[in-house]
Amino acid sequence: MKLLCTSIFILFALQGCYVSKTVHGAYTLRIDKGFQVSTSAPADYKYMNESMKDVYKDKFIEGIVNELTTYEVKVVDGALSDYELKITSFSLSESKSSTTVNDTASSYNGQTYDIYSCNASADFTLYKEGKSIGNWSASISKDEKLTNNRSFWDYIFGTNKDNSEYRQKTLDSNVFEDISEKAGRRTAARVTRKMSKN
């Protein structure tokens, strides 16, 4: 029970790092957009699209801008601003692992599935009046799942009542666009929390 409570506390503490805070004051922020997008994926990748690096970058920046605007920070393109956000790295990765069904009551027992995971991560520095006031990172991942839970169609047709049938839950084809945008929002959340204290 104590371990469960500790785990729940840690989970909420980590999530709190990604909660934005309203910044009181008419502050402006410039985003240094000169960073590159780095990618990595297995040879038999499933979701990564190398030709869409610019799209992923735009989605990441869009997430930052939308979140900052929501919390009353004006993003500007000019050289003059109260703050500057420098992205030191933005990386996207896709990985694959094998999972084997271990359920002797299922006809799927012993079958192996390739499960794919997609991750977006960013490292960044916030500057105020040309001086660094902090370095942080933000990340998010989405994973395929192997499940024996009944699907919508199982309920409709009355199948898999004993949960003995396994299936692979895949991700949306645009998953990297989605997590790029979310990584941008998480980046902005870190920034607003710092700005609210300065």
pLDDT (tens digit, 9 = 90+) per residue, 135-188? Answer: 999 999 999 999 988 888 888 888 888 888 999 999 999 999 999 999 999 999
Number of domains in the chain: 1
CATH number of the domain that residue 29 is part of: 3.30.160.150
Task: Confirm if 126 and 194 have CB atoms less than 8 A apart.
Answer: yes
Give me the pLDDT at residue 154, please.
83
Tokens of 181: 């945008």
The reported pLDDT for the residue numbered 95 is 98
Instruction: Quote the pTM value.
Output: 0.84
Give yes or no for residue 25 having a pLDDT over 80.
no
Distance CA 73, CA 65 (A): 9
Domain of residue 119 covers 2-195
**Looking at this protein, which amino acid is placed at residue 45?**
Y
Query: pLDDT tens digits for 78-88?
Result: 878 999 999 99
Mean pLDDT of all residues in the chain? 88
Task: Return d(Cα 77, Cα 124) in angstroms, integer.
Answer: 18
